[in-house]
Structure 1
């Protein structure tokens, strides 16, 4: 098969972020039902070495900062302990109309 497509890393980052939120007691479906949606406002990735088809990868996610309206996560993709890629993704919360909303206190408490 060859190399993992560079865009696929962002799918892995999202899965890791969702699992972190869930493990912390967060509920994305409940947020969306309440009219709050998480959107990516900035994403950057530094690729060091390629992953190959069928590699067993570990994705580490860390919450770096929550400001009044933004959430910053960092990610590291490893294969056998070796760093293949690192990334930072900035998120915001928006309402149903797409208007940026302040990060609620309950969201901060979950993390």
Structure 2
């Protein structure tokens, strides 16, 4: 399993505000897309996890904004798993435009069951030392 994943994303018009800048909340959405694509790269679809009673929910998320992005920009979104043990996955995110770091963030994802109780991550999602 690769602990890093990167993909390009073109900024869409509806993601921008009246000044033509990507609205800050969209970076959190970009982080989520990165996590889902990364999970898919591991060979797992989120819908299949949910069907099996495994729910990955955001416990904590943060973003530091360095520079704006605008409609039409091609962003490189990078996610890196820094920890996946017990009932949590910690991720770091970096968003680049033309090689410049424009935003960075982190999240803690908790694994819960259908009733909302914490449960251990399945073995195939754990990070091996």
The TM-score normalised by the length of structure 2 is 0.80
The Cα of 1:59 is off from its aligned counterpart by 0.3
Q: How well do the aligned residues superpose, as a CA RMSD in angstroms?
A: 1.2
Is there any run of 5+ residues in structure 1 with no aligned partner, and where?
none
In structure 2, C-alpha distance between the alignment counterparts of 1:66 and 1:84, rounded to whole Å: 26
CA distance in 2 between partners of 1:68 and 1:43 (Å)? 19
Structure 2, unmatched stretches of 5+, are: 1-18
**1:47-86 residue pairs with structure 2 within 5 A?**
47-86=65-104
Q: Does 1:16 align with 2:47?
A: no
- 1:98 is matched with 116
Structure 1 position 92, deviation (Å): 0.7
Number of corresponding residues: 109
- Report the Cα distance in structure 1 between the residues aligned to 2:68 and 2:124, rounded to whole angstroms: 39
The Cα shift of 1:24 comes to: 1.2
